[in-house]
Structure 1
Amino acid sequence: MKVIFLQDVKGQGKKGEVKEVSEGYVRNFLLPKNLVKIASAGNVKTLDMQHASELKRKEQEKQDAIALGKKIEELTIQVKAKAGEGGKLFGAITTKQIADAIAALGIKLDKRKMELDEPIRSLGVTQVPVKLHQDVKATMKVQIVEE
């Protein structure tokens, strides 16, 4: 019997797959637990439409990430901090402080998307890589100025 998996079933199939499974297993186990639905023509067509809309949504997310990346690369974000002699900061600038500075400019960016190996500890301009999407990376300039 052909079924469409609604959830992952170990050893049988993953969510969204259409597979041939024994009739007894389907009627006695999979259907009562709502793990599958029977692969009728209408259900298969609905599944295809869901896949198409999912692909369209992912493509739109990627385009939005590319646009945001271009916008971020043009900006220089300024963060103020207290500093001592030789341009050394008292403390450090973290991704949270950078995210707050970006939010003040009206751009929403999650601090976890910034790939800063260690906090910034000196004055000047630092290049901070940002992973906006699975396939899209950008580099923003963060300028640390003395308060």
Structure 2
Amino acid sequence: MKIILKQEVSGLGTPGDVVEVKDGYGRNYLLPQGFAIPWSKGAEKQIVTIKRARSAREIRDLGHANEVKGQLEGLSVKLAVRAGEGGRLYGSVTPAEIADAVQQAGGPAIDRRRLELPGHIKSVGDYKVQLKLHPEVAAVFTVKVTAAK
């Protein structure tokens, strides 16, 4: 099955790429999640629009990526969430919450879709979170999850 990616999919490609995937993967996962659209001659024309939108929010170059990496790695990110006894959270921490916490801590605006969490964050503690800034640059920073009072 031939598809056009609308978002970055780890191990597959970036927005605007035309890729060939197995029918079940495309039909049952990529299309329903909104990660891709089916390829057609008409959809081929949308690639330019997808790539233009991507370049508007993307890190400009390797130097800019390293600059943002330096900002993030020197940042102390704290996130207060509701928790029960023993430090168990009600629900889990989402990438969107982490992106907001980074901005509140004085960091740059980041794309939540580029965050890679170490599994589901469901308890209080310190967690290493990775942010892919550029194909060659990834920033790793610590998020301190605490119980809200």
TM normalised by structure 2 equals 0.56
SS in 2 for 1:112: helix
Task: Check whether the contact 2:75–2:141 (CA below 8 A) recurs between aligned residues.
Answer: yes
Which residue of structure 1 lines up, in the alignment, with residue 128 of structure 2?
A: 127
CA distance in 2, matches of 1:98, 1:60: 23
CA distance in 2, matches of 1:70, 1:131: 13
Q: Which has the larger radius of gyration?
A: 1
Percent identity, aligned pairs only? 34
| Structure 1 letter corresponding to 2:135 | Q
Please report how far the alpha carbon of residue 118 of structure 1 lies from its aligned counterpart in structure 2 after TM superposition. Answer: 2.9
Which residue of structure 2 lines up, in the alignment, with residue 111 of structure 1?
A: 112
Task: Check whether the contact 1:130–1:137 (CA below 8 A) recurs between aligned residues.
Answer: yes
Report runs of 4+ in structure 1 exceeding 4 Å deviation.
none
Which residue of structure 2 lines up, in the alignment, with residue 139 of structure 1?
A: 140
CA distance in 1, matches of 2:102, 2:109: 7
CA distance in 2, matches of 1:121, 1:60: 34
Number of equivalenced pairs: 90
Alignment of 1:73-88 (within 5 A): 73-88=73-88
CA distance in 1, matches of 2:82, 2:68: 30
TM normalised by structure 1 equals 0.56
SS in 1 for 2:110: coil
Runs of 5+ consecutive residues of structure 1 not aligned to the other structure: 1-58
